[in-house]
Structure 1
Amino acid sequence: MQQNKKGQMSTVTIILIVLIVAMSVAAIAGMVAYNSIQAKDQAKTKTASKAVSASKKSKSSNQSKNSRKSSSAASSSSSASSQQTAPELNVRQVGTLLSLYYWPDYFKERLNDSGFYYGDDQLEGQTYHVFSGNGDPTSVLYYQIDGDTITYRYVDVSNADCVADAPIATKTISLKRLVNDYYNTSAKRAEVNGYVAKLKPLSEIRSE
């Protein structure tokens, strides 16, 4: 009887040991599987994070490029605008702009009254374009055009006792300035060209 009891106890002990080992193996296997899943999840998370980061960098790079392109386009536009020259004007239009600057009231009054004349004339051996109110020497404005520079000459009586003793003054002005002041809107252009249409050729005076 005692031997049987011992045998049964040994069997039970072995079974318990086997169960414990099996449970231990199962627990270890479970932990290994859990760790493997976590490692895969972490790898996926890192991959997704890298993809998002790369996408953000790509968008940021594209935005930066677009910004640089826009800035470059604006700069090019601004540069092109700053390099634009004054519109092409004929000598009568230039003379009208110069008259509006030099003697606006006299020019408008004379133009609507007895008339204003244009043409070419000699002064000190040089040929000048001329605007004339057909009066004394102070009513004549001489000018030459050299690109953006207009050289104009007139009898300056400001410090003279009489017209005969008055010297001829020489000054320059930028055509761009005249355009910006008197020809930079459609209304101003229409006004100037209206004045130009009323001008008379200097030959009319000389033929009298």
Structure 2
Amino acid sequence: MIKVSPSILAANFLNLQQELDKIKTADYLHIDVMDGHFVPNITFGFPLLEALNRVDTLPLDVHLMISDPSRYVDRFMDFGARIIAVHIEAETHLHRLLERIKSRNVEAFVALNPHTPVNALESILPFLDGVLVMTVNPGFTGQKFISLAAEKIRQLDSIRREKGLSYQLAVDGGINLNTAPTVVEYGADILVMGAAIFRSDSPKEVIEKVKELKR
């Protein structure tokens, strides 16, 4: 079954508890952490995760769009992250960091920006729990889907089949009811969706429609 991870970046923060109540049928809650350095925007940090960790919420899917993620990753895990995605473009000692994440029984994902080729991951794929394919340039919600970047999902699905690997494929950026069938057909397992869910008339209905998609 396709999994859905609504991105809290698109939620109404004046009524956050109500927003969370709308997405209880999803699988994860996606947290976009941006530092204003790796990407040109600043979003959330430890206080938000600490607050979410005190309430009954979906498992936290944390996407670190930050420079030098190894400095901060342990604190995000301390605050309840169940998935941590770090960018290959931001981490020099990637294998070491992935092993550190996995040692805490947290799923280790690597994110790829639209311009980064799949072959950059070649030597690290056997160590991953998942790959997060960015289909927009990271930094802002509501951007237009980059179809060429989505082709990497197909490539990564082909590689995992050929090599018998079990990593999951997540996709983030411009995913809505129009683009979701395409990325699912390509092999995506987890769809990160922001505005398409939180700014819809019926978030629950959107989630249900995505979960019903078949390859």
Q: Which has the larger radius of gyration?
A: 1
Q: Which has the higher contact order (CA 8 A, sep 6+)?
A: 2
* TM-score (norm: length of structure 1): 0.25
TM-score normalised to structure 2 length: 0.24
